[in-house]
Copies of this chain bind each other. A is one copy, B any other.
């Protein structure tokens, strides 16, 4: 009888513990930045995500509004951005709220990122992805709807957000996603940090999207910092493609558009992100801007 009660009570208590687990990082007193976690269901694609939200050091002590930074590929981009902002925020860049959008719960992360970060269905683009991931490709539209209609509104409702400064961060397929947002819904962010974008994707579909955008718009009032490692011309011509995109963009002379493109010497696809992230933060959140 007592054993049954213990089991019943354990079943009652376990969810309480789990819920507590998800809402605060207990390590904060000892130097690791605390972050909050918010569970969220995306209406556009019927998937469940989590938002990891890192408030800046001064947040609780002020009534100020803060820029926000949205990162994807949270397995690496959230801790790196978080750590970089712990060091840089308030010292050489504005303090900002860092928001990571998790991979969709229960899905393989390669499937999740291929589905959410690619703009078109292109199952032939291998690049190390499984056929399952490739067959899921092409649903960036739904994912961007989720960011626009649910993530950003939640941030605006729940936190003190500065509407004049919002930064997108993406690398690789995440950089492809950033480029897609740039040509489809540029108003979603004021600033874009785009690392090693997969411009080779689907027969260089981003060049086509840019061309379509240019026919309908003379203004592109955003600040964009794009980077690639000099060693990234190995498998796909990523350096060549990025410089071609720079040339195409500059030829438009978009009103209000600010662009910085840098090829980081000696860096490869897997080594370039930490360095480009800090350079991107300097280019978008500088204290002088």
Judge whether A237 is part of the interface by a CB distance below 8 angstroms: no
Cross-chain contact of A274 among B31, B33, B105, B277 (Cβ < 8 A) = B277
21 CB < 8 A contacts A-B = A9-B9, A9-B13, A13-B13, A13-B17, A16-B17, A21-B21, A27-B37, A30-B74, A30-B102, A30-B103, A31-B103, A32-B100, A75-B87, A76-B84, A79-B83, A81-B83, A82-B83, A92-B268, A267-B278, A271-B279, A275-B279
A167 to B77 alpha-carbon distance, docked (Å): 23
When the two chains form their complex, are residues A270 and B88 in contact, meaning their CB atoms are under 8 A apart?
Answer: yes
Residues of the B chain whose Cβ atoms lie less than 8 Å from the Cβ of A26: 18, 21-22
The answer to whether A91 and B270 touch (CB under 8 A), given A22-B27, A79-B80, A102-B31, is: yes
Number of copies: 2
Residues in B whose Cβ lies below 8 Å from that of A161: none
Known: A22-B26, A79-B80; 9 extra A-B contacts, CB below 8 A, are A9-B9, A27-B37, A29-B106, A31-B73, A31-B74, A32-B100, A271-B278, A271-B279, A271-B281
The CA-CA distance from A100 to B266 in the complex, in Å, is 28
The answer on a CB contact under 8 Å between A27 and B9 is no
Please give me the residue from chain B that is nearest to A87 by CB atom: B76
- Say whether A58 faces chain B, with CB atoms less than 8 Å apart: no
A133 in contact (CB, < 8 A)? no
Q: A2 interface residue, CB < 8 Å from B?
A: yes
Chain A residues 69-125 with CB under 8 Å of chain B are 73-84, 86-88, 91-92, 100, 102-103, 105-106, 109
> Which of B20, B105, B281 contacts A17, CB < 8 Å?
B20
Minimal Cβ-Cβ distance residue in B for A50: B30
- Residues of B contacting A10 with CB < 8 Å? 13
Interface residues of A in 214-246 (CB under 8 A from B): none
Q: Is A143 an interface residue (CB 8 A)?
A: no
A106 to B31, CA, bound (A): 10
Q: A1-42 interface mask toward B, CB cutoff 8 Å, 1 = contact, 0 = none?
A: 010011001100100111011100111011111000100000
Contact A86 B76 (CB under 8 A): yes
A5, A20, A32, A33, most chain B CB atoms within 10 A:
A32
The answer to whether A52 has its CB under 8 Å from any CB of chain B is: yes
Contact A271 B88 (CB under 8 A): yes
Q: Are B75 and A50 in contact (CB under 8 A)?
A: no
With an 8 A cutoff between CB atoms, is A173 at the interface?
no
Query: Which of chain B's residues have a CB closer than 8 A to the CB of A31?
Result: 73-75, 102-103, 109
Query: Does A282 sit at the interface, judged by CB under 8 A?
Result: yes
